Structure 1
Amino acid sequence: MPQIDAQTQLELEAAAFRRLQKHLMEDRTDVQNIDMMNLAGFCRNCLSRWYQEAAAERGIEMSKDEGREAFYGMTMAQWKAEFQTESTPQKDAEFRVAFDENVAKTDR
C-alpha cells in the first residue's frame, strides 16, 4: 500500500463515504433498509446514526431526525413515502434478530 498522509487518508475515506451514500440514496433506492439490516447488519438508519454520533463526538448537537435528514437528504417521512415498500412478517422477524445482534447490543 502506498504511503498516504493523514489528511489524504481522511479525504479518501470521506470520498468513499460520499460514494456509498450516493449509491444508497440515488442508485439503489430499490433496496429496502430492512433487507440491508437482515443481510448486512446495518442500514441507512445506522449510517445516519453513525453520522449523528460523529457529530456529537465533535460537540455538535444533532437530533436523530436531523442526523437522518443529513444522511438521507430528506426527511424520513419523505423517504418512506417515496421509496419504502411494505415488509413481510418473515422480514420483520429477521429484522428483530439482526437489530438485536447489531444495534441493540452496541447501545448497552
Structure 2
Amino acid sequence: QPAPDAAPSSDNASAVAEPASADAPYGSQAPTPFSGGGAIENMSQPGCADMPGWQDAYGMGCNLYNDHGWCTASGGVGPGWREEWGAPTGDPPALEACCACGGGTRS
C-alpha cells in the first residue's frame, strides 16, 4: 500500500505535505511518519508505554513498527521488515523504545 503524501505535524494541529523519501531504506513503500505527543500505552502490550515521541532515523515511530510487524516483542526483526532495509535505526533503537519490539516502559 503506497504512503500518503501528507503527514500530521508533530503537534497534530495541521497536516504538512511531505513526500515519502525514496532515499529512506523503506523506499516508496514506506508509510508516512506519525509523530505522537506523550507516552501512550501500547494497546497490543497492556501495561507498557512506548518512549514519548520516539522515531527512527527516517521518522518512523513505534506505532508503525507495531502495525507493520517490523519487530517482535522478543526484540527481534519482525516478518514485515525487509532485509534490504538493513538494521533498524534509532537512538535508542526500537527494541529499547517500543513495546512492540520488547522495549518501552513497563508498569
Higher strand share: 2
- Larger CA Rg, structure 1 vs 2: 1
Which of structures 1 and 2 has the larger relative contact order (alpha carbons within 8 angstroms, sep 6+)? 1
TM-score > 0.5, shorter chain as reference:
no
Shorter-chain TM-score: which interval? under 0.3
Higher helix share: 1
TM-score, normalising length: structure 1? 0.26
TM-score, normalising length: structure 2? 0.26
